[in-house]
């Protein structure tokens, strides 16, 4: 498996996807992007998967685009490459299950955006995030121009895009980019515990929460209210709701079935 661009491991109901090009700080390769896409799509089809962890091998989460190939490709190749990256980002957004990014070292450029495409970001305390595109005369790709302004506002986002300067994990945490910080030596275990807890949660509810939340920035209040109304009318008929109510009355932890919603 050492030659794989992504190391795949299913432990219980948690699918771990580890980018595995440590010699290049896990810079994206076509093979890596395609394998990640296939695994994310496969996770949606596999009832044994309850949640996904995305991480990087070696010293960093990922350096993003491979600088060794920059300056050697033309418009057509770039268009095709970004198309494959877009397919990955959309697959992540469409997955009905939580995706947790476990970031350490650097998350640079498109790798920063890959983390933003996840549902939860956990990070080592000494990690750094950087929108490095402007340093090589490029714009952000991989959804950064969509995700970051919605998360921290257009003014802070433009500052990060313009400057290309890294921000610390502490700053990213204060701005709401990172959910939780951990010492590096604890990140892997904490990420797994977090993912395992989500994997054992109400999968149907999670699927709808993710989808409606992602749509909220492009919808009116009345549209979201109606989606909530329709969805909740369906949710009260589910086994998970019955189990949750029963467990509450019996003063025990609910045992949810990994049954996905039909979105």
Contacts for 217-226: CB closer than 8 Å, 24+ residues apart? 217/150
- Give mean pLDDT, residues 143-151: 96
CATH architecture of the domain with residue range 6-199: Alpha-Beta Complex (3.90)
Handedness of CA 197, 207, 227, 101 (dihedral sign): positive
**pLDDT tens digits for range 24-53:** 999 999 999 999 999 999 999 999 999 999
The H-assigned helical ranges of the chain are 30-45, 75-94, 110-116, 144-152, 154-163, 169-174, 184-199, 203-216, 221-235, 239-249
Buried b / exposed e along 224-252 (16+ C-beta atoms within 10 A): eeebeeebeeebeebebbeebeeeeeeee
* Residue range(s) in the chain whose domain bears CATH number 1.10.12: 203-249
Whether the predicted pLDDT of 68 surpasses 90: no
Stated pTM of the model: 0.93
* Residue range(s) in the chain whose domain bears CATH number 3.90.226.10: 6-199
As a CATH number, domain 203-249 is: 1.10.12
Contact present, 117 and 93 (Cβ < 8 Å): yes
Per the model's pLDDT, the better-predicted residue between 81 and 73 turns out to be 81
- Give mean pLDDT, residues 172-177: 98
């Amino acid at each position: 498996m050492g030659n794989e661009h992504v190391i795949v491991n299913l432990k219980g109901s948690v699918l771990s996807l580890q980018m595995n090009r440590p010699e290049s700080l896990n810079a994206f390769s076509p093979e890596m992007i395609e394998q990640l896409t296939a695994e994310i799509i496969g996770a949606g089809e596999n009832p044994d998967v309850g949640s996904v962890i995305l991480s990087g091998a070696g010293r960093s989460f990922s350096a993003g685009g491979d600088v060794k190939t920059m300056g050697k490709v033309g418009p057509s190749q770039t268009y095709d490459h970004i198309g494959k990256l877009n397919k990955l980002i959309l697959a992540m957004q469409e997955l009905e299950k939580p995706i947790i990014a476990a970031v350490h070292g650097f998350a640079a450029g498109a790798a920063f955006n890959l983390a933003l495409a996840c549902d939860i970001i956990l990070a080592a305390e000494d990690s750094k995030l950087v929108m490095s595109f402007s340093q090589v005369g490029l714009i952000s790709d991989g959804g950064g121009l969509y995700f970051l302004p919605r998360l921290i506002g257009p003014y802070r986002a433009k500052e990060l895009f313009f400057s290309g300067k890294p921000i610390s994990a502490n700053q990213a945490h204060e701005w709401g980019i990172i959910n939780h910080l951990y010492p590096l030596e604890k990140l892997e275990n904490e990420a797994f515990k977090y993912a395992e807890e989500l994997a054992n949660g109400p999968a149907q509810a999670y699927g709808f929460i993710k989808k409606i939340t992602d749509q909220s920035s492009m919808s009116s209040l009345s549209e979201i209210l109606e989606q909530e109304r329709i969805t909740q009318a369906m949710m009260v008929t589910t086994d998970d709701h019955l189990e949750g109510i029963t467990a509450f009355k019996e003063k025990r932890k609910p045992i949810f079935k990994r049954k996905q919603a039909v979105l």
